[in-house]
Amino acid sequence: MTEDSHDLVIAGSGVAGLSAAVYAARADLDPLVLEGDEPGGQLTLTTDVENYLGFPDGVGGMDLVQRGKEQAEQFGAQFRYGRIEDADLDGQPLELSLSTGDTIFTRSLIVATGASARWVGAENEDELMGYGLSTCATCDGAFHRGDDVLVVGGGDSAMEEALFLAKFADSVTVVHRREELRASEIMVDRAREHDDIHFRWNTELEAIHGSQTEGVTGVTLVAHPEGYPREKAESGTNVERETVEMGGVFYAVGHTPNTQFLDGTGVERDDSGYIFTRTDNTGRPSAHTAVDGVFAAGDIADPRYRQAITSAGTGSMAALDAEEFLEALPDADESMATASAETVP
CATH number of 119-251: 3.50.50.60
Q: What is the DSSP string of 10-27?
A: EE--SHHHHHHHHHHHHT
- 62 vs 206: CA distance, rounded Å: 28
- 11 vs 99: CA distance, rounded Å: 12
Q: Which is it for the CA torsion 270, 141, 176, 247, positive or negative?
A: negative
Q: What is the pLDDT of residue 226?
A: 95
- 343 vs 131: CA distance, rounded Å: 49
Q: Delimit the domains of the chain by residue range.
A: 3-116+255-342, 119-251
Q: Domain 3-116+255-342, what architecture? A: 3-Layer(bba) Sandwich (3.50)
For every one of its 345 residues, what pLDDT tens digit does the chain have, with 9 covering 90 and above? 556 899 999 999 999 999 999 999 999 999 999 998 777 777 776 667 888 899 998 888 889 999 999 999 999 999 999 999 999 999 999 999 999 999 999 999 999 999 888 899 999 999 999 999 999 888 889 999 999 999 999 998 899 899 999 999 999 999 999 999 988 899 999 999 999 999 999 999 999 999 999 999 999 999 999 999 999 999 999 999 999 999 999 999 988 899 999 999 999 999 989 999 999 889 999 999 999 999 999 999 998 888 889 999 999 999 999 999 999 988 755 555 554 445 444
- 315 vs 296: CA distance, rounded Å: 8
Q: What is the pLDDT of residue 41?
A: 77
Is 119-251 in the same CATH topology as 3-116+255-342? yes
Residue 220 backbone dihedrals phi, psi, to 5 degrees: -110, 125
From 136, 147, 148, 302, active-site residue = 136
Q: Is-catalytic flag, 140?
A: yes
Q: What is the pLDDT of residue 50?
A: 81
- 302 vs 297: CA distance, rounded Å: 8
Residues in the chain: 345
- 321 vs 171: CA distance, rounded Å: 45
Q: What is the pLDDT of residue 49?
A: 82
CA distance to 123, 234, 259, 312, 332, per residue, from 21 (Å): 37, 47, 20, 10, 21
Q: What is the pLDDT of residue 336?
A: 53
From 7, 57, 63, 140, active-site residue = 140
Q: Are strands 294-296 and 103-111 parallel, antiparallel or unpaired?
A: parallel
From 7, 139, 299, 321, active-site residue = 139
Q: Is-catalytic flag, 139?
A: yes
Q: What is the pLDDT of residue 254?
A: 85
Q: What is the pLDDT of residue 144?
A: 96
